[in-house]
Amino acid sequence: MKLTIVQAGDPVLRKQSRLLTKEEILSPSIQELIPLMRNTMREAPGVGLAAPQIGQSIQLAVIEDRARYITDISEEELAERQRSAIPFHVIINPTLTVVGNSSAVFFEGCLSVEGYQAIVDRALDVRVECLNERAEEVTIKAHGWYARILQHEIDHLGGVLYVDRMNSRTFFSKDNYVRHWKDCSIAEVTGYDE
C-alpha cells in the first residue's frame, strides 16, 4: 500500500509536529506506519519522507539514500556533493545541532513541492539526537549530503519547507532545470561567483 503525499498548501505541512511517547512509538499503529512510509518514499522515489508529508503531524521521518539512486551520478559530482548511500533508518523526536560553520549550496527538491527545485544553503555537519523505531536513543553524526537530508526532513517536522530557505532566483521546474541549468555550476545558476 502506498500513502498519499500531501502537497504545499496543505496546512499539516506548516504545523509544528507533536512528539511521540515511547509507548506510542512501540504501538501497532506507528510500527505499521513505518514500513508504509518507507514504501511510499521508495516508490516516489525520494531519500526522505516526514510524517507531515503523509498528513500525520508527528515527529517521525524515514531516510534512505539507496545505492541505486547514485549509480548514474559521476564520481566527481558525488565527491562535490559529499554523497554516498545511506541505509534505511527512522528518526523520531529529533533534535538537530549544527556542528561548525561550514555550509554548501546545492539544489533540493521535495516530494511535497512536486516538480520544482531550488538551491538551498545547508550546514555540512550536523548531530541529531533522536529515538529509533524501537524507542531507543540514537545519536547521528552526519556530513555532506546526509546532513542535508536530515536538515530537510527535520525542517518538515517543524512546519518548514525548503522554499522557506531557498535562493528564490533558482526556483525552477524540474523540466527547465534539465533543459537550461543541469550542466551549469552553482555560480552560473545563481548569477554570481561564490
Active site residue ranges = 153
Would you call 105 helix, strand, or coil by DSSP? strand
DSSP, residue by residue, 116-182? EEEEEEEESEEEEEEE-TTS-EEEEEEETHHHHHHHHHHHHHTT--GGGTB-GGG-EEHHHIIIIIT
